[in-house]
Amino acid sequence: MKVGKEVAASVISWRQNDGFATADLPRPTPTSTLPGVYRMTPSGATQFARFGDIEPFGVLSSTQFLPDAYPQLDSPEYAAAFNEVKTLGRRPTPLPASAAGYTPTQRTALLWAGGMAGGEAATPGTTVVTPFLNVTNAFRVWHNVARDVAQAESMSLAKTARLFALTSASMFDSVQTSHNSKFVYRLWRPETAIRATAPDQDDDNAATIEDDTWLPLLLTPPYSSHSSNMQCIGAGAARMLRNVVGGERAVTVTWYASNTATPPATTPAVIHTQVFPTFWDAAIDEGNSRVWGGIHYQFELAASRDSCAAVADYIFETRMQQNVAHWR
Average pLDDT estimate for 234-239: 98
Q: Categorize the per-residue pLDDT at 273 as very low, low, confident or very high, splitting at 50, 70 and 90.
A: very high
Please report the pLDDT score of residue 125 as a whole number: 47
| Angle at CA of residue 255, ends 252 and 259, nearest 5° | 125
215 within 8 A of 43, measured Cβ to Cβ: no
pLDDT tens digit string along 14-27? 888 888 888 888 77
Beta-strand ranges (E) seen in 184-301 are 251-256, 270-276
pLDDT of 309 higher than 90: yes
pLDDT of 122 higher than 50: no
Which range has the top average pLDDT, 8-12, 30-34, 154-158, 173-177?
A: 173-177
Average pLDDT estimate for 276-283: 98
Q: Categorize the per-residue pLDDT at 200 as very low, low, confident or very high, splitting at 50, 70 and 90.
A: low
pLDDT of 112 higher than 60: yes
What are the helix and strand counts (H, E) for the chain?
9, 2
Amino acid at 209: I
Sorted by sequence, the CB contacts under 8 Å of residue 113 that are 6+ apart come out as 119, 120, 132, 218, 230, 289, 293
For the chain, percent of residues with pLDDT exceeding 90: 64
Which range has the top average pLDDT, 91-95, 205-209, 261-265?
A: 205-209
Angstrom CA distances, 154 to 67, 147, 246, 253, stand at 36, 11, 14, 19
Taking Cα atoms as reference points, which of 23, 14, 313, 293 lies closest to residue 179? 23
Please report the pLDDT score of residue 120 as a whole number: 46
Q: How many CA atoms lie within 13 A of 303 on its CB side?
A: 23
Q: How far apart are CA 207 and CA 188, in angstroms?
A: 18
Instruction: Give the CA dihedral 274, 275, 279, 280, nearest 10 degrees.
Output: -80
State in words which class domain 57-321 has: mainly alpha
pTM equals 0.91
pLDDT tens digit string along 43-73? 888 889 999 999 999 999 999 999 999 999 9
**Sign of the four-CA dihedral 194, 197, 199, 201:** negative
For the chain, percent of residues with pLDDT exceeding 70: 91
- Domain regions of the chain by residue span: 57-321
